[in-house]
Amino acid sequence: MSEASPNIAPRPDAKTLRNVAVLVFAQAFLGAQMPMVFTLGGLAGLSLAPNPCLATLPISLIVLGSMLSASPLSAFMQRFGRRAGFMLGALAGAVGASVSAVGLYSQSFTLFLAGSLLTGTYMSAQGFYRFAAADTASDAFRPKAISFVLAGGLAAAIIGPQLVKATSLALLVPFLGTYLVVIAINVFGALAFLLLDIPPPAPPGEDAPAARSRLQLLKEPPILVAVICAMVSYALMNLVMTSTPLAVVGCGFGPGDAADVVSAHVLAMYIPSFFTGFLIARFGARLIVAAGLAILAAAGMVALTGVELSTFFIALILLGIGWNFGFIGATAMLTEAARPEDRLRVQGLNDMIVFGGVFIASLASGGLMNCSGGNSEAGWQAVNMAMVPFLVLAGGALIWLALRPEEEESAF
């Protein structure tokens, strides 16, 4: 038998493939709750909030919870492993949905907000699925493993909105049935992590390099630019998606139409994941990030052309594709730039900054949508115009990194 060509990457081992399969399932099944709570969070908030400008505050608090829990959850997984961390995240998702359900039943905006904040811990845990896929993968398989796990969101994009349609008005209290289903998703989905086999990181030896501070990590240009591009890609996606159900309904369409638009958007977020990893391997992460930023800009331009239902669909599909290229590309950049001894620390720092940006975006989304114009169309235009400075920031950072001399980068 002839020897394998040295240019052909070896096949991943069984443990790596099993871990990726478990994480793909988690992204698909447990991840279905995210389009559910993001679709209904603003609508439920609008029905409970004392002021319409606060309608998207529940979504903002989900993101805030994710930002606040990113570093502690990363430290928890550093000590106890990915399995324990992901099960803790699912528990937080179940508790958060339970509190939100009580808030809906009792018509308490405060309780609904508290449940949303707890749900953010699950969102943070889900964000680590992509990093966990890389833990046991070879250098060659790592971008593909990340991409495959995020591709699991394709099933979530189908399951989540359909469950919203089936359950949002199933009980006398609007949206209560959906949150009860979210509880079940977390309880049963967490069992899949029993099959996960990713050992906790070995403790550093006496001769290991000293851990660097967050400021030192951010002084490394490849890490800094990867974090900026990930933050902008995710924040802009969230900024527009958060307002979409309110804009669709406010422009005369129904909640079912809003769910369909969100479903198309989430499909567009994850379908490209089947080949994004291959594109990164072929063209490099930076070029894919640049393409993602350009597609996000195109989404904003389309959204500004009108408020027909078809325009919402096209803009949100482009928004999903742009997020996919920008976020997966930035994740690949980060995994390439981080040293092994800094990996989990960098991941926690990255997600804290990313979700901090997403929190600000989601908080601004409600104000821009409901309080920046006399009608829903004016608010929708304000939301999409707000994308411009952040796209300039990320694009400028990427260009700056590309223009740096190679020897200067290799010094870090």
Q: In whole angstroms, give the CA distance from residue 33 to residue 186.
A: 8
Percentage of the chain beyond pLDDT 90 is: 42
The continuous run of DSSP H or E covering 18 comes out as: helix 14-29
pLDDT > 90? residue 41? no
In angstroms, the Cα distances linking 219 to 224, 342, 368, 393, 412 are 7, 14, 33, 17, 9
Q: What is the pLDDT of residues 168-212, one digit of tens each?
A: 888 999 899 999 999 999 999 999 999 998 877 666 656 556 666
Among 145-159, 195-209, 226-240, the minimum mean pLDDT is found in 195-209
Which pair of structure tokens corresponds to residue 21? 């399969």
Which pair of structure tokens corresponds to residue 297? 């800009």
Q: In whole angstroms, give the CA distance from residue 252 to residue 321.
A: 26
pLDDT > 60? residue 374? yes
Q: Looking at residues 240-247, what average pLDDT do you find?
A: 87
pLDDT > 90? residue 305? yes
User: b or e along 158-190 (b: 16 or more beta carbons within 10 Å of the residue's beta carbon)?
Assistant: bbbbebbbebbeeeeebbbbbbbbbbebbeebb
pLDDT > 50? residue 1? no
Non-local (6+) Cβ contacts of 211 within 8 A are: 204, 341, 342, 345
Q: In whole angstroms, give the CA distance from residue 358 to residue 67.
A: 9
Which pair of structure tokens corresponds to residue 154? 């394709």
pLDDT > 80? residue 164? yes
Asked whether 120 and 63 are in contact (CB, 8 A), the reply is yes
Phi-psi region of 252 (alpha: psi -120 to 50; beta: other; left: phi over 0): left
Task: Provide the residue ranges of all domains of the chain, joining segments of one domain with +.
Answer: 15-199+213-407
pLDDT at residue 202 in the model: 65
Non-local (6+) Cβ contacts of 123 within 8 A are: 34, 62, 63, 65, 66, 355
Q: At what angle do helices 221-250 and 376-385 cross, to 10 degrees?
A: 170
Asked whether 247 and 240 are in contact (CB, 8 A), the reply is no
Q: In whole angstroms, give the CA distance from residue 90 to residue 100.
A: 15
Asked whether 333 and 229 are in contact (CB, 8 A), the reply is yes
Q: At what angle do helices 221-250 and 33-48 cross, to 10 degrees?
A: 50
Cβ–Cβ contacts within 10 Å for residue 327, how many? 24
Output the pTM of the full model.
0.74
Q: CA end-to-end span of the chain, whole Å?
A: 43
Least Cα distance to 57 among 71, 44, 68 occurs for 44
Q: Which CATH class is domain 15-199+213-407?
A: mainly alpha
Asked whether 341 and 206 are in contact (CB, 8 A), the reply is no
Q: Looking at residues 36-56, what average pLDDT do you find?
A: 84
Widest distance between CA atoms in the chain: 74
Q: Looking at residues 349-368, what average pLDDT do you find?
A: 81
Q: In whole angstroms, give the CA distance from residue 194 to residue 190.
A: 8
Which pair of structure tokens corresponds to residue 296? 């996000």
- List phi, psi (to 5°) of 45: -60, -40
